[in-house]
């Protein structure tokens, strides 16, 4: 697969790079960013943390605002940040911020016109890792993390593919999208009115029924404006108790939904993932 380099910046001895490529599953040109730590320049194949961003974001938000590069360089972890949806003039869209471009919800849409391009689940699970592992000096040891809509994506993708990820984490995730305004709007539009089909993309439903476990870390700000109506971490916590899921959920007083919150605790997440990435065999 041909990829095109857009930008390159040295950071903490490693390299932040942006690329574009033609996606076969999304039927459009996509952009992603990758941070390669210094260890990758010495011929070492390094593990990868996939970061999924939230509503309205692109690959740039995390890489520019989270301050993750210093710790990633220290730990020898590459970070890959994809876009949050398909892009292009012929891609279906909506006037609202929480549907359409920038709001792919990391699922495979089944309803027209969205089912033409909106296959973000397949892109994140299959196509993008195949491209990354074939192009860069990285191993097939993978972890996954995200924020808000991306936290929802990270949790659901890891739980549905426990053989592919060593660990999962999230900041302020949409934990029960089948039961909140953001999720109900997106799921009914992308997946249709049959709510039985929604459970496969609902972290709380998946965690409640889980029999295979991926270690999980979730951080939530107590001053988050979306906490009560949209995020509902207490539902995820209750689901974990049912299946005895290895979930560590932390509530932080005073913190909101912003990247100030993410930047405050991102090093904790990188250390958490490093523990599992460095003690695991390659994934499938």
Active site residues: 148, 224, 257
Q: How far apart are CA 218 and CA 169, in angstroms?
A: 6
For 30, residues 6+ apart whose C-beta sits below 8 A from its C-beta are 20, 21, 22, 23, 82, 83, 86, 87, 123
Strand partners, 11: 14
Angle value at C-alpha 220, between 216 and 222, nearest 5 degrees: 155
Question: What are the C-alpha distances in Å from 191 to residues 50, 124, 187, 248, 271?
Answer: 25, 18, 5, 30, 36
Q: How far apart are CA 193 and CA 152, in angstroms?
A: 20
User: CA dihedral defined by 10, 16, 21, 23, rounded to 10 degrees?
Assistant: 170
CA gyration radius for the chain? 17
Phi, psi of 12 (to 5 degrees): 50, 40
Alpha helices (runs of H) in 140-225, residue ranges in sequence order:
149-160, 181-190, 203-209
Q: How far apart are CA 31 and CA 5, in angstroms?
A: 10
| 244 DSSP 8-state letter | T
């Amino acid at each position: 697969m041909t990829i095109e380099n857009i930008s390159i910046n040295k950071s903490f001895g490693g390299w932040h790079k942006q690329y574009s490529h033609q996606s076969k599953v999304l039927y459009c040109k996509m952009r992603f960013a990758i941070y390669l730590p210094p260890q990758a320049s010495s011929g070492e194949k390094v593990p990868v943390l996939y970061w999924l961003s939230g509503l309205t974001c692109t690959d740039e938000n995390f890489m520019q605002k989270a301050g993750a590069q210093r710790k990633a360089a220290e730990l020898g972890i590459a970070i890959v940040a994809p876009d949050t949806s398909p892009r292009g003039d012929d891609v279906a869209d909506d006037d609202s911020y929480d549907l359409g471009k920038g709001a792919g919800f990391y699922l495979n849409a089944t309803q027209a016109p969205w089912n033409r391009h909106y296959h973000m689940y397949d892109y994140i699970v299959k196509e993008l890792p195949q491209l990354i592992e074939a192009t860069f000096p990285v191993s097939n040891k993978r972890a996954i993390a995200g924020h808000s809509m991306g936290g929802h994506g990270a949790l659901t993708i890891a739980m549905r593919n426990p053989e592919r990820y060593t660990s999962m984490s999230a900041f302020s995730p949409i934990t029960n999208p089948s039961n909140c305004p953001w999720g109900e709007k997106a799921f009914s539009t992308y997946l249709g009115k049959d709510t039985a089909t929604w459970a496969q993309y609902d972290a709380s439903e998946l965690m409640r029924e889980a029999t295979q476990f991926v270690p999980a870390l979730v951080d939530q700000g107590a001053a988050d404006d979306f906490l009560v109506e949209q995020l509902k971490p207490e539902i995820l916590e209750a689901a974990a108790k049912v299946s005895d899921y290895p979930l560590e959920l932390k509530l932080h007083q005073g913190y909101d939904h912003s990247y100030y919150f993410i930047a405050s605790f991102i090093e904790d997440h990188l250390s958490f993932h490093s523990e599992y990435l460095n003690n695991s065999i390659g994934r499938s």
